[in-house]
Amino acid sequence: MAKKASKTKLKLLDISKQLMMSKGYNATKVEEICQMAEVTKGAFFYYFKTKEDLGMSVLDYYWQERQAQFMASDWLASDDPFDRIEGFLAVVADVFMNDPHGYSCLAGSFTQELADTNTDFREIVSGLFDEWSEQIKPVLQEANERSGNHVDIDLLADYIVVVTEGALILAVARQDRQVIAQHLNLLNTHIRSVFSV
């Protein structure tokens, strides 16, 4: 019975993620999720107390999927920190460009839609962006030491997140996923110039 319950919850999360990525949090209705998942509202509320509870769970579910994709790649394999930075950006571009549910970031979408009105969501997405920038900081620090420069690593790590999220927004606006690769390639060139490489 527990296994079946777990499958149902995952199905609800997956359908909710798809809907929230395509139409946003506010436009996604519990009734629609239940219909697509073929579950009753009672079953839905067994797993999620409120829609906000669902949204937070979906965000975590989405983020864990993204992290698994990033970590499954070999971007950390090189001894050269500059190759690792380039590999990191290439993986980020590949993951977002090839998502079957659309080339957007759910954390970024939630930020634009909810950050001004919901403190809980704002704090969660802020924490996720911090987690993302923390992943690349050790490599940036190594590049800093190797180059002998004094670059603000915290600012540069945040800048990577900023350019990535901006590229995703522009790609959606233009309906052109190649925008993501173009801007992350340019970002890689810019980072090398910052370190004078």
| Amino acid letter, 40 | T
Kindly indicate the confidence band of residue 156, based on its pLDDT and cuts at 50, 70 and 90.
very high
Coil vs helix vs strand at 29: coil
Considering the entire predicted model, what is its pTM? Answer: 0.89
Q: What is the mean pLDDT of the chain?
A: 92
Average pLDDT of 162-176?
94
Q: Which helix (H) or strand (E) holds 67?
A: helix 51-72
Average pLDDT of 92-101?
90
Q: Are 140 and 194 in contact (CB under 8 A)?
A: no
Token pair 């704090």 is at which residue?
Answer: 123
Radius of gyration over every alpha carbon of the chain, rounded to an integer in angstroms: 19
Burial-class residue 174 by CB neighbours within 10 Å (0-12, 13-18, 19+).
Answer: exposed
Domain regions of the chain by residue span = 73-194
DSSP characters over 149-187: ----HHHHHHHHHHHHHHHHHHHHHHT-THHHHHHHHHH
Q: What angle do CA 87, 130, 47 make, to 5 degrees?
A: 105
Q: What is the pLDDT of residues 123-154, one digit of tens each?
A: 999 999 999 999 999 999 999 999 988 899 99
- Single out the residue of 5, 7, 8, 32 nearest to residue 19, CA to CA: 32
Could you give the CA distance from residue 68 to residue 80 in angstroms, rounded to a whole number?
A: 23
Q: What is the pLDDT of residues 5-63, one digit of tens each?
A: 489 999 999 999 999 998 999 999 999 999 999 999 999 999 999 999 999 999 999 99
Kindly indicate the confidence band of residue 197, based on its pLDDT and cuts at 50, 70 and 90.
low
- Single out the residue of 24, 25, 32 nearest to residue 54, CA to CA: 25
Q: What is the CATH number of domain 73-194?
A: 1.10.357.10
Q: To the nearest whole percent, how much of the chain has pLDDT over 70?
A: 97
Return the pLDDT at 99: 86
Euclidean distance between the first and final Cα of the chain, in Å? 58
Q: To the nearest whole percent, how much of the chain has pLDDT over 90?
A: 82
Return the pLDDT at 118: 92
